[in-house]
Chains A and B, each alone.
Chain A
Amino acid sequence: QVQLQESGPGLVKPSQTLSLTCTVSGGSVSSGGYYWSWIRQPAGKGLEWIGRLYTSGSTYYNPSLKSRVTISVDTSKNQFSLKLTSVTAADTAVYYCARDVFYTSGSPGWFDPWGQGTLVTVSS
């Protein structure tokens, strides 16, 4: 079964770039029919979708973060990555990667499975 695991620094200074990687095991990030997403959750708060990527390289970002977000894929390592620039304390959250399951019609669907999440704190 597919498993995802996030990795990256747990502490980032304000104004710097947050960089995380999601490693996919038990399946291929190149598998057709799936997108791959990043989602975050500030402590004690709800979930916010950041963006998604298809193995063709197509990306779609949340308009609220679009100017600061880049999601990319490394098929040779079976990984996809998140970069978020110019971070502030408001970007402190647990960051999850997840497989983005689409309907056969091509419409976006649900997230399954998710990685365990990684806490990123923005602080000097």
Chain B
Amino acid sequence: DIQMTQSPSSLSASVGDRVTITCRASQTISSYLHWYQQKPGKAPKLLIHAASSLQGGVPSRFSGSGSGTDFTLTISSLQPEDFATYFCQQSYSPPPTFGGGTKVEIK
């Protein structure tokens, strides 16, 4: 299985901050990388697919980049509703696997 490693596992930030989350694959996955946001007690919500394509209805402050093995999710200006856990997922090689998550907390 392809291992997905996210860093950091948690971070504290303030409203308005620029936040960057990293996801690294154990082997190349081209651009078959997707990002989700999960709030407590809720299902994950798709933010970005194919590394950099913003899902419809997702605010433009979210962006994704990368290819190969290294990917980033950036929130350009953190908003109160963005405090959540973020997961990456690869679909390059079955089974699809997820990163361990990055919890974004209020500083």
Contacts and interface: CB of A to CB of B under 8 A. Distances in A.
A101 B96 CA distance: 12
Contact of B42 (A101, A108, A116): A116
A96 interface: yes
Contact of B46 (A96, A108, A112): A112
Interface in A106-124: 107-117
A112 B55 CA distance: 10
A110 B89 contact: yes
Contact of B96 (A64, A96, A108, A113): A108
Interface residues of A, number: 22
Question: Which residue of A46, A107, A117 has the most chain B CB atoms within 10 A of its CB atom?
Answer: A46
A117 B96 CA distance: 19
Contacts of A109: 32, 34, 49-50, 91
Interface in A69-97: 96
B-side binding surface: helix, strand, loop or mixed? loop
Nearest to A117: B43
A15 interface: no
B55 A49 contact: no
A2 interface: no
Contacts of B44: 47, 96, 111, 114
A108 B94 contact: yes
B100 interface: yes
A46 B100 contact: yes
Interface in B21-58: 32, 34, 36, 42-46, 49-50, 55
A46 B49 contact: no
Given A46-B87, A109-B49, A110-B49, A63 B42 contact: no
Contacts of A16: none
Interface of B: 32, 34, 36, 42-46, 49-50, 55, 87, 89, 91, 94-101
Interface of A: 46-49, 60, 62-64, 96, 101, 103, 107-117
